[in-house]
A and B are shown apart, each in its own frame.
Chain A
Amino acid sequence: MNEIVASITSRGRVLAALRGEPVDRTPVVNPTSVATVELMDLVDAPFPDANREPELMARLAATGYTELGFDTVMPVFSIIQESSAIGCKIQWEQKDNWPTVKMREPIYETPDDIDVPEDLLERPDTRCVLEAIRILRRDLGEDVAIIGKTMGPWSQAYHCFGVEPFLLLSLDDPNQTRLILERFKEATIAFGVAQIEAGADAVTLPDHATGDLVSGEYYKRYLQEMHHEFAERIPGPIILHICGRTVDRMDYIAQTGMAAFHYDSKNEPAESMAIVDGRISLVGNINNPETLFAKGPDEVKEEVWKNLDAGVQMVGPECAIPLQTPIENLRAIPQAVVEWHAAGGRPTTASAN
């Protein structure tokens, strides 16, 4: 368990946890979206506009801190910004659904097709994020941590080439695959750097080389070195996000020098902590579809406590939450953290009430 220090701000405790330093209590962190349709109504910032207009994006993101009690705000709700800027076709949807890249209509077939525009950061959807970060820092001051998001090259390749074509290429032609990753890498770095410069304290880096699809050796072969490069070149803490089963690659991830790994509920907290062995912090791993969406605060608290019992350094949902998640379940996360620390460990029924 982290050493306990005197009370500090939300931002202070998040930065400390990312550096592996002592904190007053475990921070509640959302490397991915905690937007819900009810929060959209609360601040009148509905999707899809809240994904495209900086003021709405910032207003909705702020509710994570002001209404839910998290220690972070994260304005990049979806994963389409770079792909939209590059020219992928986007399905924007309505208030109650996520914008997605139309991966069945990929825009690239070979590495030579890749054309990351020089004005990537000036395109509407990337510029929106940078502006939203500035608004959040202006409006919320220095007390809360702002997390940005920049998509990794593996995920960008899925978006631009299609998932199955890219996976087949990764087997048929490793050299072409590496070339594709190299060409997308600069977009990852540029967008990450810009967000830190705009005021973000850290960036989430989703790169979906998930165990549900590819082996741990694939991660090592194609991404580990590149992720190490990201840790060197992006001037702020990076939280790597990979969905699905990932225990077989956590050892490799722990060697990259990134600050934290955002892991999902398919992996056990204690086992995950044992594998990373203090070389990287963990963030997670409360289940979304079964617990946060479908169950109640008591079940949420149980998953929070399981993470705290294992010594996980930052607690939060495992991934972007379903948009219909009840607010009371999200508020239960920081409540559970406070109860755990107040009880000096897992609360009994009496100490939790």
Chain B
Amino acid sequence: MDVLGSNWRRVELVPMDPHCGDITVALYRADEGDGPVGLVHSYSARPQVVERLAFLVEAMRVLAGFEVVGGSAAGLVRFPCRTWHALAARRAFLEAAKLDPSEPLTARPLQVPDTRSEQTIRVEPLGGGAYAVRADRVTEDTPSRAPAIAAALAKLAELSVGEAEVVAFPCGHAHDALVALMLKRAQNLRAALREEEMQASRGVLVAPSAQE
């Protein structure tokens, strides 16, 4: 296998994919004529890899609303808005890589139960890439979790936050599946960021003078 050409930049990496013999799987990005495109790729040549990459492509389509370019075997995906949402793309890839390939792929709903508050968090599409975050069963003892979750969604997907817990994609296009995917992670932003941090610190060699 050849190393990818210099037009590809790596966006995210899973160094040890537990669902496929600890191979590396990565999302790369290049800027083509009609907009940025992602590539789901692995340098491993083990026999199961082709199937695994096809699953990841399909997972990104179903769960995050990516369009598949040129058939799933090519590994190419793009956002329907033809722009690139960097953090959201990374998050979508990481979430796809966690999925058990033996389970059926289903899009997530735009609402989740919030166990911390026993509220139900709903996200209403408002059009033009904007979404309103709402919480049901708000009481005096349990204030609405909607503001915290709206802020977390904004952080996870680089959205703007407006009045009344309305968040919006800068591209102005709808991304319902992506929002639904992020919603669960937005309930526990700490866990999401902790996972990213731990990942990034793996494999950094320190001199003996600086080791624990």
Contacts and interface: CB of A to CB of B under 8 A. Distances in A.
A and B directly contacting (CB within 8 A): yes
B53 to A, nearest CB: 13
A277 interface: no
A186 interface: no
A327 B4 contact: yes
Contacts of B9: 296-297, 326, 328
Contact of A42 (B10, B43, B202): B43
The size class of the interface chain B forms with chain A is 20 to 34
Given A326-B10, A328-B4, A319 B205 contact: yes
A322 B15 contact: no
Interface string A313-337: 0000001101110111001000100
A322 B205 contact: yes
Given A323-B15, A326-B10, A42 B208 contact: no
B209 A212 contact: yes
A268 to B, nearest CB: 20
Interface string A194-228: 00000000000010101011000000000000000
Nearest to A66: B3
B13 A37 contact: yes
By CB atoms of chain A within 10 A, which of B26, B42, B200, B207 has the most? B207
B98 to A, nearest CB: 16
B211 interface: yes
B144 interface: no
Given A37-B15, A67-B3, A326-B9, A289 B209 contact: no
Interface string B78-120: 0000000000000000000000000000000000000000000
A298 to B, nearest CB: 11
A299 B143 CA distance: 46
A26 interface: no
Given A42-B1, A324-B15, A331 B6 contact: yes
A324 B4 contact: no
A interface secondary structure, majority: loop
A213 B209 CA distance: 8
B24 A94 contact: no
Contacts of A95: 15-16, 22
Interface string A133-166: 0000000000000000000000100110001000
Contacts of A297: 6, 9
Given A41-B42, A95-B16, A324 B203 contact: yes
A208 B208 contact: yes
Contacts of A108: none
B203 A96 contact: yes
A328 B6 CA distance: 6
Nearest to A335: B6
A210 B43 contact: no
Interface of B: 1, 3-4, 6, 8-10, 13, 15-16, 22-24, 26, 42-46, 200, 202-205, 207-212
Pairs of residues from A and B, 4 with the lowest C-beta to C-beta distance, nearest first: A323-B203, A41-B44, A96-B15, A41-B43
19 contacts: A41-B24, A44-B44, A79-B205, A94-B16, A98-B203, A101-B211, A103-B208, A158-B208, A158-B209, A208-B207, A208-B208, A212-B210, A243-B210, A297-B9, A319-B205, A322-B205, A324-B13, A326-B9, A328-B4
